[in-house]
Structure 1
Amino acid sequence: MTLMTERPTISGTEPRSFEALLADLDELVLPDGYRAEIIRGSIVLSPWSKGYYHRVMGLICDRLRPHLPQGHDISGGPFLYVFPGDERAYGPDIHAAHEQTFETTSNHLDGEALSFVAELTSSSTRDDDLTDKVVVYGRAGVPIYLLLDMQEEQATVFSTPSAKGYESRCTRPFGEELPLPAPFDCTLDTTGFQAPEK
């Protein structure tokens, strides 16, 4: 396996099956400050988030918790969701799923069980968050994908999942309200999502 520096990925000389990549991911000892996902047939390492992302993730969880579908929970905890049909495994920044999803001894959770997912972009993750994950989350039937473009300071909600990704999207700059469709049926206030002043 090799480790690349810009946005580190790990791949072998021969193509590996998705199951083999998942097994490699389970065995991987990560460098301090990194997390790992499977994207397009490679294990991709991403640096941990900036400090203020914690505030933003907390605001999203607090603001959406009253609107969760019955029996669902929302968290910013590190969990790995697998999408075998697309041979992907993501650790979303924020995720909501039915409580039953977490009643397993496996660390590979069912991506199709998600009712909501949010990603906060960084310079190293932005391209995959804007492309690969839009398609995979949509094809898996995740009702809402919230993409927070931290570089552009705008929020986009993707909804109406389909075989091609998502059919609907709505973008608002940070500080404005963003409508979220079913199963949340609420408006998300994006006030406080901006970076702190230097």
Structure 2
Amino acid sequence: MTTATARVGMPVEEFEGIARDTAESVKLELVGGRVGVKAMPDGGHDEIVVWLLKEFVRRRPELSLYPERGLTIEQYRNGRARPDCTLAPEGSFAGHGEWADPAAVLMVVEVTSFDPDTDRRDREDKPRAYAETGIPLYLLIDRDRGETVVYCDPADGAYITIVTRPFGKPVHLPAPVDLTLETDALFGWVR
């Protein structure tokens, strides 16, 4: 996520029109009442997404990991987000448009970018928004801090349980995912 954000009070339909007409080199999100520009990821970011895709294909083939799937989030603000990855049962988004209902989502994943907006967006705004939406798990792969953070047990607009593990230590993704990832590979994609 880049640093270009602005507080807006626009109707969600207007936001969706602007997002649809924006150049393919950037994607827009509406989280916490702010429009954010999600720019093209760097190579390390891409490698982490590919690593996750391979892990899930190999170990949980009944689930699909959707990169950049547009989701409707936030009950009260009508937000729109494009998590780096969205985990759901295969076929969950067939027939959906650009912004899908998150009812089938088991987990969302964000991989931090090396920009000043990451702290607020990925560590503050998105956990609140995803919890408020009722998404069971949020996995943050934090390249700045060299750690994985698993947010789970959403209740009353917040995740009750937050587990942090440094890169190199296994990270367990509890139910409904129930999978443990070995994170040694992540050392190759940090600065």
Q: TM-score, normalised by structure 2?
A: 0.85
RMSD: 2.3
Q: Does residue 3 of structure 2 align to residue 7 of structure 1?
A: yes
Kept after mapping to 2: 8 A contact 1:21/1:42? no
> 1:166 is matched with which residue?
159
- Distance in 2, matches of 1:98 and 1:19, equals 28
Kept after mapping to 2: 8 A contact 1:126/1:149: no
Q: Which residue of 1 aligns with 2:73?
A: 83
Could you say what secondary structure the match of 2:3 adopts?
coil
Q: Could you tell me which of 21, 36, 45 is aligned with 1:44?
A: 36
Q: Could you say if the C-alpha distance between residues 105 and 95 of structure 1 is closer, same or farther in structure 2, counting changes exceeding 3 Å? A: closer
Bigger CA radius of gyration: 1
Which aligned pairs between 1:44-193 and structure 2 lie closer than 5 A?
44-68=36-60, 71-75=62-66, 77-83=67-73, 85=75, 86-122=77-113, 123=115, 124-193=117-186
Does the 8 Å contact 2:132/2:158 carry over to 1? Answer: yes
Give the TM-score, by structure 1 length: 0.83
Q: 1:47 to 1:27 in 2, by over 3 A?
A: closer
* Superposed displacement of residue 47, structure 1: 2.4
Structure 2 CA distance, aligned partners of 1:130 and 1:84?
16
Aligned length: 187
Percentage identity across aligned positions?
23
Where structure 2 has 5 or more consecutive residues not aligned to the other structure, the ranges are none
| Structure 1: distance between partners of 2:129 and 2:32 | 11
